[in-house]
Structure formats: structure tokens, C-alpha cells
Amino acid sequence: MEILQIVLASRPLGIPSVSNFRIEKTALNDLNDGEVLLKSWYISVDPYMRGRMNSVKSYAASFEVDKPIKGAVVARIIDSKSSSFSTGDIVVGTLPWATYTVDKAENLRKVDTVKVSPGYYLGILGMPGFTAYIGMMDICKPVKGETVVVSGAAGAVGIVAGQLAKIHGAKVIGIAGSDEKCRSLKEQFGYDDAINYNTSKLLRKEIAVLCPEGIDVYFDNVGGEITEAVVANLDFHARIALCGQISQYNNSKPALGYTILPHLLTRSVMLQGFIVSNYSNRFGEALTQLTQWLNEGKLKYAETIIEGFDKLPEAFLGLFSGKNIGKMMVKVD
């Protein structure tokens, strides 16, 4: 059996490229008691992985050069020396970018892929969905009649965040990078309106036209100039959930953030950053609630699935040029 893995070949400076990754053959350890043999099925690519390609200290350890990239994977159990799992079970866990791997059963969670699409455990019923849930329910807390703006609105987190605000009766405006994404936000995901920041001539003005009474809530996935344009339109006592800053992840030097601070001060804005892994005690609640809303048809989701293990680096890089609608992932077989 040929086993392939993808390792970090070198640390990128600025925008990463496929040359920062290397695909190689590997061998598997024998199964010990309490371990299972896994065949990867769907592998997640996520923006946070860009930070882990650097060597700087952060909330999570860096990837090591010449070692496999690790992330969320939905996998099938091929062999088991654990009483918790049987051959054929489908599980989700943090696993290497590899076609097969051996791991401890305790690191894995069994999932139902009969009623639920397997990729959903990497998206709406996984880390990105939980992020939208925590950011919107705990920090933004939108109520009926408020105006909510979501940047990165057509991505894995953003699609869910906007719909959660709609469920709570808010008017929701999305900001995304193409007309196709903006159309889907309105036609499929219930957004009231959406702006394509790539074709907008003056984003601040366009936002002002769509939000004449000011913005009460901003769910920020991207940072940078988009955030400056949104912040200029915030109402007094607005709330910001600082979820992501993808527009800044490939910068070799940090951009200055001072332009937004005077607005935050004079409008008494509450801004809170958050890291979803610090809310693991709430994942059960988030999973139950998101599943219920999915089953009731109140939430919809989208996936961009790229076929082929060797396409992982390309899929990951595609996140930085907006190649995905909803959750980006790679189907291995």
C-alpha cells in the first residue's frame, strides 16, 4: 500500500506557494493497543494554517519544516485495536495531511455520515461553524431590527455568521470578493444585500447607502481596508467580533491599525477578539443548535470540494485568492 504525506518544505515569506510544500512517500507504524488505522476521506484547508507556517510564537504551535501539515480530517477506520471503534466507522480528528495514518482512538470522534454530509464536520458542524456561533451569539448578540455586517461573508465562517444574525431578526449585509458570491449570499443564504469589494469604487460610501442608520454589529473575518470602511459606518455602542484578519496574514510587516481606533473611541464601540479553541466547553451546545437549525431548514451551507490528495497545497492557497464559496476542502478518494 502506497502512503503519501504532505510536509512543510520551507517557511513562506509573504504569499505562500506550492513550493513551500512537498509530497512524499512514507510508511506506517504498526498498530498498538488503543490505536486505529485511518484512511483520509475529506481534508480541511483553513486560513489559520498560514500563521502556523511561520515560526513566530502564537496561540498554537507552528508546523515544523519537513514534518506533515496537520489539520481537521474526516477519515474512515480501516483497522482497529481499540474497543471504541470498528472497521468502517467514520471519525473526525486533527490528523496529518496523509492518505493513511495511525492515531490513538482517544484523539478521534465518531460522526454520522448517513444523515449528514461528511464535509459538514469540517465546516458548519465543525470548527468554522462553532466560530460563527460563538462570535455571533456570545459577542455580537444581534437583536431584531439591528444592522449586521459580515466581511469574508461567503466563506466557511461568514456564510454561517450572517445566517445566525438573520435567525435573530437582524438586517444582514455581506462583503465578499465576487458578484457570484454576492448573488449566492442574497439568493441562497438570505443576506439582505451584499457588496463586491473587488469592484466597489468607494466601499465606505456603498456601505453607508445600504446601512443608512449605521451598523450595530460587525463580524470581521478579513481586517485591513474593508474593516476601515465598515468601522467608518458604525453606530454608537456597536459591537465587533474580531474573528479573522485574512487580508493581513501574508504581510511580512504588520500594517498600522490606528485608523480605526478614533472611531472606536468616539462611538463607544466594543471590540472583542476571540479564538474558538478557547470555547471548547461550548462546542456541544453549538453542535446541537447548528444541527437543529440545519434540520429545520433555517441554515444552509456550501462547500467547495477539490478532488485529489495532491491538490491540498493548491486548495489551501486558493483561500487567499477567494477560490471558495463556503468551506474549502479536499476529497482524497
Ligand X SMILES: NC(=O)c1ccc[n+]([C@@H]2O[C@H](COP(=O)([O-])OP(=O)(O)OC[C@H]3O[C@@H](n4cnc5c(N)ncnc54)[C@H](OP(=O)(O)O)[C@@H]3O)[C@@H](O)[C@H]2O)c1
Q: Would you count residue 35 as binding ligand X (CB under 6 A)? A: no
Nearest-10 crossing angle of helices 158-167, 127-134: 40
| Out of 37, 324, 329, 330, the residue judged to bind ligand X by CB under 6 A | 324
| Total Cβ atoms within 10 A of residue 153 | 29
DSSP string, 12-51: -SSS--GGGEEEEEE--PPPPTTEEEEEEEEEE--THHHH
Q: How far is the CB of 105 from ligand X (least distance, A)?
A: 26
Among the candidate windows 237-245, 282-290, 291-299, 306-314, which touches ligand X by CB under 6 A? Answer: 237-245
By CB under 6 A, tell whether 49 contacts ligand X.
Answer: no
Provide the 10 A C-beta neighbour count for residue 269.
20
What are the distances in angstroms from CA 309 to CA 315, 320, 331? 10, 19, 7
Residue 158 lies near ligand X (rule: CB under 6 A): yes
Q: Are 196 and 176 in contact (CB under 8 A)?
A: yes
For residue 161, the surrounding DSSP H or E stretch is helix 158-167
Read off the C-alpha cell for 324.
471558495
State the binding string over 251-280 for ligand X (x if CB under 6 A, else -): -----------------------xxx----
Which of 230/294 has CB closer to ligand X?
230
Does position 177 interact with ligand X (CB under 6 A)? The reply is: yes
Q: How far apart are CA 47 and CA 157, in angstroms?
A: 11
Q: Are 223 and 244 in contact (CB under 8 A)?
A: yes
Of the pair 3, 320, the CB lying nearest ligand X is at: 320
The correct pick among 38, 90, 125, 157 for binding ligand X (CB under 6 A) is 157
Residue 190 touches ligand X, criterion: CB under 6 A: no
Contact yes or no for 174/198 (Cβ under 8 A):
no
Size of interface with ligand X, in residues (CB under 6 A):
32
Nearer to ligand X, 229 or 238 (CB): 229
Which is nearer to ligand X, 41 or 48 (by Cβ)? 48
In the bound state with ligand X, the residue whose beta carbon lies nearer, of 37 and 194, is 194
Q: What residues from 96 to 135 belong to the interface with ligand X (CB under 6 A)?
A: 127-128, 131
When asked if residue 221 is in the footprint of ligand X (CB under 6 A), the reply is yes
Question: Could you tell me the sign of the dihedral formed by the alpha carbons of 313, 326, 193, 184, in that order?
Answer: positive
Q: Does 319 bind ligand X (CB under 6 A)?
A: yes
CA distance 254 to 160: 29
Compute the distance between CA of residue 230 and CA of residue 250 in angstroms, rounded to an integer. 22
Q: Segment near ligand X (CB under 6 A), from 16-24, 177-185, 209-217, 253-261?
A: 177-185
Residue (37 or 302) nearer to ligand X, CB? 302
Cα separation, 152 vs 174, in Å, equals 8
Q: Single out the segment in contact with ligand X by CB under 6 A; choices: 25-33, 45-53, 71-79, 86-94.
A: 45-53
> Which residue sits closest to ligand X, CB atoms considered?
155
Smaller CB separation from ligand X, 102 or 290? 290
Binding site for ligand X (CB under 6 A): 46-48, 127-128, 131, 152, 154-158, 176-178, 181, 221-222, 226, 243-247, 274-276, 319-320, 322, 324, 328
